[in-house]
Amino acid sequence: MTTPPILSESNSPVIELHDVTRSYGSGTAEVSALQGIDVNIEHGDFVAVMGPSGSGKSTCMNILGCLDTPSSGTYRFKGMDVGKLSRDQRALLRRHYLGFVFQGFNLLNRTSALENVELPLIYRGTLAKERRQRAKKALASVGLAGWETHTPAELSGGQQQRVAIARAIVTVPSVLFADEPTGNLDSARSREIMELLTSFNHDQGLTVVMVTHDAVMASYAKRMIHFRDGFIEKEESNRGR
């Protein structure tokens, strides 16, 4: 299969987890990372996923990003049962509908900012002229017009994360997953990155799901979901967001 799954444009949530569990190992060595969680994320939401190490938040994010599969329960993405997709189909879903931003930026060191942003379009088979135009537009949208030829070594940490965000949004994803996106940045650069993510959420309706340990960064989200010991401990709304 070389074409992406056809997803529903209905009014259903973009993400639905129902009674999802995830276990690793077997017998006395079995570890239950998730123990029957329910999560709904609507189009245009901005959700911060929080919890201590080992709480299950990273496992949940891996399932949402189609990097892992539940042991039981149901994951629906825009109405499609992800559990019924093959490995290749899940890879295509990631490629065409999801964007990812990581704490460590994950840029190719010897390639320019423009080439880094073009990369997901290359995987899609986008023609060179179009992908260059789209990559330039994405860099401009994160405030890096004029920095296209600079390599990561020539950019600050904040600028590198902006390139990573441009790479994540150049495909116009349905959901942007951000895993500790400010973890390697100082407080001023962290605020800049969070304001940028907030602007994409508010102005373009981009759905954002972010893992963070930082309550200050989580305050930029519309909702906070707290994990503990494989369960959802509580959910909170951020008033005014």
DSSP, collapsed to helix, strand or coil, labels residue 204 as helix
Side chain identity at residue 148, one-letter code: E
Write phi, then psi, for 235 (nearest 5 degrees): -125, 145
- Judged against a pLDDT cut of 80, whether residue 241 lies above it is answered with no
**pLDDT band per the 50, 70, 90 thresholds, residue 28:** confident
Task: Assign 2 a pLDDT band (cuts: 50, 70, 90).
Answer: low
Q: What is the pLDDT of residue 238?
A: 84
Q: Is 56 left (phi over 0), alpha (psi -120 to 50) or beta?
A: left
Confidence of residue 1 (pLDDT cuts 50, 70, 90): very low
The answer to whether the pTM exceeds 0.75 is yes
Domain boundaries, the chain: 15-237
Give the range among 3-12, 33-42, 226-235 with minimum mean pLDDT.
3-12
Percent of the chain with pLDDT over 70: 95
Quick one: average pLDDT of 130-142?
96
CB 230 within 8 A of CB 34: yes
- At 26 the pLDDT is 85
Distances from the Cα of 134 to the Cαs of 128, 137, 236, in angstroms? Answer: 10, 5, 37
Helix H or strand E encompassing 47: strand 46-50
CATH number given to 15-237: 3.40.50.300
**How would residue 9 be classed by pLDDT, with cut points 50, 70 and 90?**
low
Q: Residue 106 and residue 165: Cα distance in Å, rounded?
A: 11
Q: What's the mean pLDDT when you consider all of the chain?
A: 92
Give yes or no for residue 124 having a pLDDT over 70: yes
**How many whole angstroms separate alpha carbon 130 and alpha carbon 118?**
10
pLDDT band (50, 70, 90) for residue 5: low
pLDDT the model gives residue 168: 96
Statement: residue 132 has pLDDT above 80: yes
**Closest to 85 measured CA to CA, from 16, 5, 176, 173:** 5
Calculate what percentage of the chain has a pLDDT beyond 90. 86
